[in-house]
Amino acid sequence: MKTLRTSPLALTVIAAVIALVFSVIITSVVLSISGFNPPSVFQAMIDFGLEPDSVVNTLNRSSTYYLAAIAVAIGFRMNLFNIGVDGQYRLGAMLAAAVGGAFALPPVIHQVVIILVAMAVGGMWAGIAGLLKVTRGVSEVISTIMLNFIATGIVAFLLHEDRLATQVAGSNNIGTEPIASSGRVPGIPYPGAGLEIYGLVLLAVAVGVGFHVMINRTRFGFDLRATGLSSSAAVAGGVDARRMVVAAMLISGMAAGLIGMPQLLGSSYSYGLDFPGGLGFIGIGIALLGRNNPVGIAFAALLWAFLDQSSQILEFNEIPKEIVAITQAAVLLSVVVVYEIVRRLGLRWQQQAVAAELAAGSAKRSKEVAA
Amino acid sequence: MSTTERPKVAEPAFELHGITKRFPGVVANHDIDLRVTVGTVHAVVGENGAGKSTLMKILYGMLRPDEGTIRVGGERVAFGSPADAIARGIGMVHQHFMLADNLTVLENVVLGAEKLHGIGGKARRRIEELAKKYGLQVEPGRLVEDLGVGDRQRVEILKVLYRGARILILDEPTAVLVPQEVEELFENLRELKREGLTVIFISHKLDEVLSVADEISVIRRGTTVSKCLDPGEVTARELAQLMVGSELPVPELRESTVTDRPALKLTSLTVRDESGRAVVDDVSLTIHHGEILGIAGVEGNGQAELVEAVMGMRSPDSGSIVLDGQDIGAWPTRRRRESGIGFIPEDRHRHGLLLESSLWENRILGHQTERPNAKGFWIDRSGARADTRRIVDEYDVRTPGIDVSAASLSGGNQQKLIVGREMSGKPKLLIASHPTRGVDVGAQAAIWDHLRRARAEGLAVLLISADLDELIGMSDSLRVILRGRLVAEADPAAVTPEQLGSAMTGASSEGER
Amino acid sequence: MRRGLKTTLVMLTGAALTLSAGACGGKKATTGGDSGEGAKKTVKVGLAYDIGGRGDKSFNDAAFAGLDRVKQNLNLEIKDIEATKNETDNDKIQRLDLLAKSGYNPVIAVGFAYAGALGKVAPKHPNTKFGIVDDGSVEGPNVTNLLFAEEQGSYLVGAAAAQKSESGKIGFIGGVDTPLIKKFEAGYVAGAKKAKPDIKIDVKYISRGTDFSGFTDPAKGKTIAQGQYDGGADVIYHAAGLSGLGLFQAAAAEKKFAIGVDSDQYQNAEADQKPYIITSMLKRVDTAVYNFVEDTNKGTVKAGPVIFDLKNQGIDYSKANTEAIAGLQAKMDEYKQEIIDGKITVPTK
């Protein structure tokens, strides 16, 4: 019995390792062809990636990646492809920054208000796609892509001196009014590092735990998973598919709204032209890599962030840092293939194991009968 | 490939001797002997889990035996893969079709066998030639998604023949067919036999086996208990006893438990499809507590839509649905289930199970809001697990545990799990579509028993089945559905399967209102 | 795709050449003496780009041209590092910190996006000199702000455009509507109105807000240029980086005029486009970088803003297309002198 339960998990880990090894091989080949020595390149990346500042950056970066991937995974768990995570994140972060900068509230309340605004905006934006799917049958893939464009337009419109933005004196940047210190989240010092870990890395952890609990321990999560595994069976089982679509999109959008929070409240305090975009798309890859599982996504986000971070040393050594993009693409591609193979093998092994146990049981029973 | 000489009658197509297959720690097959004569239909019968599938996988090269010999055409062989088996002229038609819906019949047949006759006119001619020769009429140019189940099966058989098979293994081929289609299939099999091909027919439907097989072998607990029985000399009852080693269950109700309290009352229920055609047309019926009402009909005459309307999965265009005096017509599915409707769906894979989830999670499905599965907002894992163990015990679900995935159980055991789940929590009304389809005789008897017991306690059942014996034996009253309308009423005590069958096709007007 | 790549390469090498050539005719003749001294010290110069990096045809490339000249003329060791996508302030902090820690001095940050990061890194390395292009908000004893009066040059090319126009309508294409590009627009509009008060100006931005694709999309640049020409404009000025290449294509196709930006785009344009490029507004990021390094090397660098404008030739216009610019120069030079003398104050918004 024990082997039946643990083997799928072991297989998953093996699959991830295989994918990683495969991608390292591909990267090595590319490096060798380009005339570099793979071991020394990897060594340089690892050395640099483990420096205290790099560790801090990796953690910070992975916290945003993690939130992005969770947002995507919530949709994936229900077979909904929320490509609009990026737009939900940007709109949520921008409006939250604007609200946070407009009022000074007592600490804690201030932060909570900002975070709630981000969630509300992100959720609302994704909810539009959910409603369109339910009422008009519009594929969420199409509508969320469109909503990304609209979000870009809205952000551009609002990020203007006449509206929500101000220009910093002497700077060519433009951004929302900086959030007062009452609304900021202090960083966590890391030994030896000049940088600090965003305080809201803990928010990412909390969201991961929340996601796990919601999916595995609540009725809503059960309905969500059931719909994702077999929507026909879920409907027959009394799940209101339309309501679930809207709810899942809302929650996914709320998580998307959180993506910008660690950075906003931990370092930039303002949504400006230099606020990073495209995180929602990275989230798709990381959710795939982490198999939509909160723990898996955590590892995937850390790996991704580590690769992004350690790639910075490559240029210092005159190696094009695009090499890392090849590694990342190879990991993703191979992981998709390997996971599918493992899934099928796992199912087959389980079926065989069940058949074997049953045969053993009936053999025992027949012996008992004979006796 | 186009051998036309008639083989000698007694020549064995293949022989298995002393086949033993061990899985780690257990023996799935032991000392199996099987001798199949060329140009016959040879039935292999046995309960689910008796080892039929393992045996067939060995013969088809999917598994390697640990001991024993296989001879094909007198020559000893060892198959490393299905490709080796095909090369020896052995082909398999799986229970679940492996066809690509969006390809044509021609494309499906040549897929993976392009080397034989290309993919163009030559291949088409070969298919037409085969179809004509064996009476397997399908148009090569049609899309598979437009085909019915029977046609799809013929495509599967064509696929195997196209690859040059002389020995065909058919795994539970009738499980998905309606009676008319079964008859057509048997006609095809007889045609194949006449052309000198050998057919291995795996089934546990004994009537069918008796009507089509030339020889019957029975497998029980991994070994052959009877070899090459003559269907003329055994009865279904004897076969069943060989299979299970015990009495054959009979679908029958002892005394009426019908009360005068209506449980479900449908009035002028009409459901239209997208094109506006009434697929359920003005259906009115009442099921009382303690009553089983059977609906007979050829598949596709509105049964599925009727069930979906009662379950709230499809909204009716007019008419009312009243459960225990309450109009539930506007209620969502969940509320209907919460108010005491149990549902055994026709297609358990599509509507009854989350195949990749564990058994205890499947216990929750459809009862997410009810105890012992949930406590308010939360899923009660330990409650659900405990109750799953109860179901596994009470309904004899053969499984090593409740953490295995539903997909790893055999069809019959999956069905027992569903029945157990739907009978939990004392439902008022059970919608049972083909409750014993694909279930072995032992499990069938158990399910009937459970239905009878619940009925005695006041359960109302809407029973839909393609098994006419089951319908007649288990129903307190019977209706016949044809093109969405209830066209006839029959008395289960008096009607014969033949009469019912002709009423189903609209040939008879006996008992019409 | 292939053609795009080819053009990119041509443009890249061309840009580097012209920029170096242009600078030779420039000021500061004291270069020669220092180069030997610099070599002995093995000074290492670090430069960090903004997103886009080398090859953007805009100031990243101009910055590299300056850096390259540092390597050639001053014989110093150089290192340039690009930004990663979706990076945050912390990544920029680490990049600058890495350069400073590894002994690079001076360190130059290209682009206003580095402002926040530099503000945190500069105090940690008091002995390292930092330069930042296009930002005046960071202050520190070791921070030099390399600023440009883009509006002044834009004012002059605006005057050129208005004079050249026969239809009475001219166009402006901005890459992204950032405050920086708005400065170009404001100067251009003011200059054109000065030369011809009734001139009509069609202003378009390719992308807006945080969407920076407007700097790298020649196809969209071409579509918008085509639209402005169709709408009656006959001279168009762009401040859209790589997207400006689309403007030149449209100009050649329509046989109407265009004005380049940042570097002398006449020099590296395709032959069929050359006649239509009247002039270019020159923003000498290369000069700024070179001078900053040179001054640091000599120890004469000053903290605080250094403004490059018409007066010190950090901003200028190109006279390379003598045929097209004939007859326009008189007024341009007149305005130029008035701006230098302080008689005209060019708006920045």
pLDDT digits (tens, 9 = 90+) for A56-71: 989 999 999 999 999 9
* Rounded Cα–Cα distance for residues B125 and C9 (Å): 59
Which of B351, B413, B417 to mutate to probe the A interface, most A CBs <10 Å?
A: B351
Instruction: Answer yes or no: do A171 and C81 touch at CB < 8 A.
Output: no
CA distance C82 to chain A (A): 8
- Chain A CB contacts of C136 below 8 Å: 169-171
Chains C and A touch (3+ CB pairs under 8 A): yes
Residue listed under structure tokens 């999109």: A249
Position C30 confidence tier, pLDDT thresholds 50, 70, 90: very low
Bigger pLDDT: C82 vs C336: C336
How many other β-carbons are positioned within 10 Å of the β-carbon of residue B440?
23
CA-CA distance, C281 to C258, in Å (whole number)? 11
What is the average per-residue pLDDT within C164-184? 91
For the entire predicted model, the pTM comes to 0.76
Q: Which of C79, C82, C94 to mutate to test the interface with A (most CBs of A within 10 A)?
A: C94
Query: Is pLDDT of C9 > 70?
Result: no
Which chains form contacts with chain B, at 3 or more CB pairs under 8 Å?
A
Q: Select the residue of C81, C115, C208 nearest A173 (Cβ to Cβ).
A: C115
d(CA B477, CA B273): 28
Name all domains of chain C by residue range, CATH numbers in brackets. Answer: 42-148 (3.40.50.2300), 150-283+315-340 (3.40.50.2300)
3-state class (DSSP) for residue C42: coil
Lowest mean pLDDT among B158-167, C52-61, C138-147: C52-61
Element housing B307 (H / E) = helix B303-311
CA distance C136 to chain A (A): 4
pLDDT higher than 90, residue A241: no
Q: Name the average pLDDT for chain C.
A: 83
Q: What string of DSSP letters covers C220-265?
A: HHHHHHHHHHHTT--EEEEE-GGGHHHHHHHHHHHT-EEEEEES-T
Torsion sign, CA atoms C259, C262, C264, C265? negative
Number of Cβ within 10 Å of residue A175's Cβ equals 25
pLDDT tier for residue C39 given thresholds of 50, 70 and 90: very low
Please name the amino acid found at residue A342: V
Question: Which has the closest alpha carbon to B444: B457, B434, B454, B453?
Answer: B434
Res C191: pLDDT:
94
Contact criterion met (CB < 8 Å) for C81 and A263: no
Identify the CATH class of A51-318.
mainly alpha
- Judging contact as 3 or more Cβ pairs under 8 Å, the answer for B and C is no
Query: What would the two tokens of residue A293 be?
Result: 């599982």
CB-based contact A256:A91 (threshold 8 Å): no
Q: What's the CA gap between B469 and B456, in Å, rounded?
A: 21
A113-170 per-position pLDDT tens digit:
999 999 999 999 999 999 999 999 899 999 999 999 999 889 988 888 777 888 776 7
Per-residue pLDDT band for A8 (boundaries 50, 70, 90) equals: low
Q: How far is A275 from chain C (nearest CA, A)?
A: 7
Residue C25 has a pLDDT of 32
What values do phi and psi take at A128, rounded to 5? -60, -45
Higher pLDDT, C152 or B208: C152
Interface of C with A (CB under 8 A): 79, 81-82, 84-91, 93-95, 97-98, 102, 112-113, 115-116, 124, 134-137, 145, 177-180, 207-212, 305
Nearest residue on chain B to A360, alpha-carbon basis? B26
**Strand (E) positions, chain A?**
165-167, 174-176, 188-189, 196-197
pLDDT for position B8: 44
Report chain B residues whose CB lies below 8 A from the CB of A356: 23-26, 28
Identity of the residue in B24, B379, B407 whose CB atom sits nearest the CB atom of A219: B379
* Band (A359; pLDDT cuts 50, 70, 90): low
Mutate to test the interface with C, among A172, A314, A322 (most CBs of C within 10 A): A172
In angstroms, the CA C70 to CA B497 distance is 100
Picking from C81, C97, C207, the nearest residue to A53 by CB comes out as C97
**What number of other Cβ atoms are within 10 A of residue B469's Cβ?**
14
Q: What is the mean pLDDT of residues A244-254?
A: 94
Q: Which of A219, A356, A363 is closest, CB to CB, to B368? A: A219
Chain A residues within an 8 Å CB radius of B398? 358, 361-362
pLDDT of B247: 56
How close A60 gets to chain C, by Cα (Å)? 9
Beta strand extents in B107-187 (DSSP E only):
167-171
Find out whether A144 and A84 touch, Cβ atoms under 8 Å: yes
How far apart CA B423 and CA A237 sit, in angstroms, is 14
Per-residue confidence (pLDDT) for residue B48, from 0 to 100: 66
* Helix boundaries (H) for C80-178: 89-101, 115-121, 150-164
Query: Which chains touch C (3+ CB pairs under 8 A)?
Result: A
pLDDT, average across residues C49-74:
80
Lookup: tokens for C218? 């020649």
Nearest-5° angle of CA C14, CA C18, CA C24?
150
Neighbours of chain A (3+ CB pairs under 8 A): B, C
Residue with more model confidence, C88 or B333: B333
A288-294 long-range contacts (CB < 8 A, ≥24 apart) are A288/A332, A288/A335, A288/A336, A289/A16, A289/A331, A289/A332, A289/A335, A290/A69, A290/A73, A291/A12, A291/A339, A292/A73, A292/A76, A292/A77, A293/A73, A294/A70, A294/A73, A294/A208, A294/A209, A294/A211, A294/A212, A294/A215
Cα separation, B73 vs B425, in Å, equals: 57
Cβ–Cβ of A172/C84 closer than 8 Å?
A: no
Question: Which residue has better confidence, A183 or B275?
Answer: A183
Asked if residue C23 has pLDDT above 70, the reply is no
Question: Cβ of B408 and A358 within 8 Å?
Answer: no
Nearest alpha-carbon partner for B412 in B212, B231, B244:
B244
Residue spans of chain B under pLDDT 70? 1-10, 23-27, 48-49, 176, 178, 244-254, 438, 507-513
Q: Using 50, 70 and 90 to split pLDDT, how confident is the model at C38?
A: very low
Q: What whole-number percentage of chain C has pLDDT above 90?
A: 50
What pLDDT score was predicted for residue C58? Answer: 64
The DSSP code for A182 is: G
